[in-house]
Amino acid sequence: MNVWLPPKRGSKGKYLVLATTQYKLHPQEIIQLYGRRWQIETYFKAAKQYLALNKSQIQSYDGQCGYIAVTALTYDLLAWQERQSIDDRILGDLFYLMNEALPDLAFEEALVYLLTALKEAKAEISATVEQILDNFIKLLPVFMQKQLLRTA
């Protein structure tokens, strides 16, 4: 086993302990791999703790895949918002607000709400939104298209 002790950034005299059984890896590669793994761990912690990833009771495989995709999209949007902000506390605050404020909605209700909100914003943005929505709806399964036409 290879053990490497790089110094911790910003912590004088403290070190990280990185271990691997891959003897051919250079120390810089080990740091990069651990950095990637740390990002994954951080994502799952935030997704479970703040975005209720572990509270889903969806039984179908497609439903679970959709739930995970929406959770990942939410995380990505919040992470993007954090990068746009100069306040270092914003990500935690957004996760907290998202965790408290989101009601339980059926997927169809949420989709109809999203499409309605996008159609209302269309007038302000441009005619491009209508083209995007039409293309999106054309790509949906037929049963969803019919449901959207009934509720719209």
pLDDT in tens, 46-87: 888 888 888 888 889 998 899 889 988 988 888 887 777 765
d(CA 151, CA 109): 9
d(CA 28, CA 11): 19
Tell me what the pLDDT averaged over the chain comes to: 79
Q: Which residue has the higher pLDDT, 134 or 88?
A: 134
d(CA 17, CA 30): 11
Tell whether pTM > 0.85. Answer: no
d(CA 113, CA 107): 10
Q: Rounded to whole angstroms, what are the CA distances from 104 to 18, 39, 100?
A: 42, 28, 11
d(CA 67, CA 38): 23
d(CA 78, CA 98): 10
